[in-house]
Structure 1
């Protein structure tokens, strides 16, 4: 199966971001991809941290969820919907959620970001816990290509999360890594997760300078189970693309059965 990760430079305008996502999803589908991944915060990169509260939706309804469902059904593909803000039990906070839609447009999996990003260096400062409620459940989903593990951005730094997913065909990482942290750690961490879990990793990033002044690292990529980068897009809008080689995956696991050699579980 061919897969694609969409890269965006989202703005504060939901309608504009949806139009961009629709165009890129169509192009990736036309290229033959049957599973498409959107980046973190694709519906909105707000001017203020609290802007996401204004577009938060209840689970199961809303313009963003209808867009994802309709796109999956119209294109006949799996869509892993990056992240969108869902209403939480706290009025001043949201859940940062990945929803998975099958080719019939049905929502079949739901993952709330567990690890919330916090970083300060000079004038650059982020603290997701101010506006986001952390999730607490590890989530995988069975797809036409096998079991897919769901993670979001900062989760990438916590390998124990990925071990709890079990043996996956692919792990997805929708993200909005900052330029500072991405330049230092993004590719290293993605390749490590692919190598240690002996599976494909598909990462969809935000990549450029946003209208709120934030600069994201980009470098969306597909990585094979040996840690080789199959495709990468440094900056700007577009997508990365590739076909999963199941014989390669199984051969790596047969030749170096590290997953069977684990002692600490």
Structure 2
């Protein structure tokens, strides 16, 4: 299979048709390169707030509602494109108001299959900005999606930095990591998290990033990152664990080819067996015994 990770530049959109044309072009580009799975980044949907004008897009609370109102139409468009091109698409995550969760929005990534069917994954752990300034909250439980490409999980940005979340989806062959980070420090935190999760669970992680400046938004004003596809640095994978990576802050797709059998082989007979030996940590999750050498 071919995996496509986006380094996505958000734009100020004058019309809904401009968004349709943009997304269609991105999907057609990746599908034209033979991609079977397309991964868009965290909060890449915030550009939809510009459809309500600069005053709305620059207001933290108003932008949440402006984007959320557009998501049903956005989802219909993604479903149509996934079906037309016969691909799987992880749409850029978006703030969504869900009465089943509460009055505040969750950060939700929606996942589309080539039939047009949709599932979703909510972010679990909020960053300081989401908690303290934006009041975006943690959402529903983790999901594992059974697909023709294998079992796929999603860890949104900061979630990828927590090993127990990845462990909860240890049956995943692929873990998708959509991200939105403003500085290179943040990009590397998420990248290191994605690579660590690939090491621990002996799977492949696909990281997508927002890139570029958005002077129309306080929430996503500065973005730094690139696409990347990572595996365990073990038999059948590159020594670095990096299957493919883009160029920092350069918009476009990063494409990697993957033989999914490599995941099964390394889990069964790798040089090391991190995933199998995980449970040997049981009982060792308390604090280390403090000893004095003075």
Which residue in 2 is equivalent to 1:245?
259
Check 1:102–1:184 CA distance in 2 against 1; reply closer, same or farther (3 A cut): closer
CA distance in 2, matches of 1:201, 1:184: 14
Cα RMSD over matched residues? 2.4
Which residue in 1 is equivalent to 2:174?
170
Q: Does 1:81 align with 2:91?
A: yes
Contact 2:157 2:190 in 1 (8 A): no
CA distance in 2, matches of 1:262, 1:222: 23
- Specify the SS of the correspondent of 2:212: coil
Moved over 6 A (4+): none
Contact 1:207 1:217 in 2 (8 A): yes
5+ residue gaps, structure 1, are 120-125
Which residue in 2 is equivalent to 1:201?
205
Show CA shifts across 1:199-237 (max 9, x none): 111011101222237221212111123252122222132
The aligned length equals 256
Structure 2 counterpart of 1:144, from 141, 145, 148: 148
CA distance in 1, matches of 2:149, 2:197: 19
Which residue in 2 is equivalent to 1:228?
241
Higher strand share goes to which structure? Answer: 1
Provide the TM-score with structure 2 as the length reference.
0.79
CA drift at 1:112: 1.2
Contact 1:116 1:129 in 2 (8 A): no
Show CA shifts across 1:117-175 (max 9, x none): 115xxxxxx64673322114011101112111111111122111000112211100111
Bigger radius of gyration: 2
Contact 1:6 1:25 in 2 (8 A): no
Contact 1:87 1:93 in 2 (8 A): yes
Check 1:91–1:200 CA distance in 2 against 1; reply closer, same or farther (3 A cut): closer
Of 201-210 and 225-234, more deviation after overlay is shown by 225-234
Contact 2:93 2:108 in 1 (8 A): yes
Contact 1:49 1:131 in 2 (8 A): no
Provide the TM-score with structure 1 as the length reference.
0.87
5+ residue gaps, structure 2, are 48-56, 234-239, 283-294
Which residue in 1 is equivalent to 2:286?
none
Of 18-27 and 132-141, more deviation after overlay is shown by 18-27
Contact 1:208 1:217 in 2 (8 A): yes
Which residue in 1 is equivalent to 2:26?
24
CA drift at 1:48: 2.8
Q: Does 1:5 align with 2:8?
A: no
Which residue in 2 is equivalent to 1:99?
110
Q: What are the residue-to-residue correspondences of 1:21-170 with 2, within 5 Å?
A: 21-45=23-47, 46-50=57-61, 51-57=63-69, 62-89=72-99, 93-107=104-118, 109-118=119-128, 127=131, 130-170=134-174
